[in-house]
Amino acid sequence: MTTRDSRQRVPAVVIGAGPYGLSTAAWLSAKGIPQRVFGDPMESWRANMPAGMYLKSVPAASSLSAPEPGYRIEDFRAARGLGPVGDLYPIPVEEMIEYGKWFQERRVPELEQQKVRSVRAADGLFAITLDSGEQFLAENVVMATGQVPFSHEPPELGGHFPADRVSHASSHHDLTRFSGQRVAVLGAGQSALESAALLHESGARPMVIARAEGLAFGGPPATDHPADRPRTVRIVKPGSPLGPGWSLLACSYGGVAYRHLPEGVRMRLLHTVLGPSGAWWLRHRVEDRFPVLRSRTPRSVEVVDGQVRLVVTDPAGRTEVLDVDHLLLATGYRVDVDRLGLMAPELRREVRTFRGAPRLSRGFESSVPGLFFTGLAAAPTFGPVLRFVAGTGFAARRVAGSLAAGTRSRR
């Protein structure tokens, strides 16, 4: 069943081949740490993001991290004969996927396109089982499993519904399947607004239902490059990977300090900094294109005669009943270690958490020595930059440094 010695010990295993997994693997290899890396390159971007979408982050903040020059998105574009771009260029998701694969082929060629079936504790080590049936031991494990396992559904909706009637936005790559259907999109952020725009452009009849009093959109960059802005403007609103402004600059580069904030403050900032809003280039595809119900709170959902019946209330307590063909939940993600099913239950129980998220050291290590979390799972500890590709450098350097130094649970 296996071609490898089941007693083999691997110093490090990276699970996941998205931006955070690939960046971590690149930094580990540069540190000379033997590793095995598992995953399908950019899988969630291919399978769980809608075709035709664009990144909200600008090109300068959308590169995977490697310790050497030559692997940024501008290098990929140059290698493909494409010209340089600036902040006024929204990156198509298809280009980002190709860039990620290009990065993997050149910087993480050791990637094994296999899935990890389970991870469990084994006498101070980790027993890894692959879908192929292979089993081996690892001294360290880096969980870079992305955001899809943490898709959030509002608890007030309650119950389980047929997937062909109620689903999370992360479940769909091809929104053309909804052509001709009435689709209620719950949410007011980029995912909700762009999904609604794509649905409308695919011949569906979307309706956005937002808790917010109004929709928010970012303003277009004044220049293609932040350095071209007048000096006085740059002082008042300095540039950062997350956008212009002192608060965004602090969140972009202050992950170590962010970790020391009170838990309640961290969670509040995580959900309010760069809160629900659409990109500047999305506004004309949303406004006056389809109905938007503002200040509505969902109360219940049921499927009646093959239709979805959604009950919402307004601030005055008035009730509305909406009948649609499908309810699309663009309601974001909430980190919860218990939803990582590939981790054995007893291992999940050993991980100390706060509000479902793992408590992490400054080196991204959990309370289980040798078990690291990166990407969205680390955002409640280090801040909103970990929600974006821009955080790959901060995370990968620290994880690799921690493993190289042999630190375990140094807090």
Q: Give the residue extent of every domain in the chain.
A: 9-150+333-405, 155-217+277-329
Tell me whether domains 9-150+333-405 and 155-217+277-329 share a fold. yes
Torsions phi, psi for 387 (to 5 deg) = -85, -10
pTM reported for the whole predicted model: 0.93
Residues in the chain: 411
Domain 9-150+333-405, CATH among 1.10.1660.10, 2.60.40.10, 3.50.50.60, 3.10.180.10? 3.50.50.60
Q: Cα dist. 245→6, 126, 226, 237, 327 in Å? A: 52, 43, 12, 4, 36
What is the Cα–Cα distance from 105 to 83, expressed in whole angstroms?
A: 22
Environment class of 31 (CB within 10 Å of its CB; exposed 0-12, middle 13-18, buried 19+): middle
Averages of pLDDT over each 10 residues, the chain, 411 residues: 58 98 98 96 96 95 97 98 95 98 98 97 95 96 95 82 92 96 96 98 97 92 87 88 88 92 92 89 96 94 92 94 96 95 97 96 96 97 95 97 69 33
Q: Which long-range contacts (CB under 8 A, 24 or more apart) does 105-109 make?
A: 106/71, 107/22, 107/25, 107/26, 107/66, 107/71, 108/17, 108/22, 108/25, 108/26, 108/29, 108/37
What is the Cα–Cα distance from 138 to 90, expressed in whole angstroms?
A: 40
Domain range 155-217+277-329, CATH class: alpha beta
At position 106, the amino acid (one-letter code) is R
Task: Report the half-sphere exposure of 2 (CA within 13 A, side-chain side).
Answer: 14
Among 57, 145, 46, 137, smallest CA distance to 100 is for 46
Tokens 């050993």 sit at which residue?
350
| Farthest CA pair distance, the chain | 67
Residue 7 has a pLDDT of: 56
What is the Cα–Cα distance from 339 to 334, expressed in whole angstroms?
A: 10
Among 145, 202, 102, 180, smallest CA distance to 376 is for 145
Task: Give the count of beta carbons closer than 10 Å to the beta carbon of residue 92.
Answer: 14
Tokens 């999940």 sit at which residue?
348
Residue 222 has a pLDDT of: 86
Residue 239 has a pLDDT of: 86
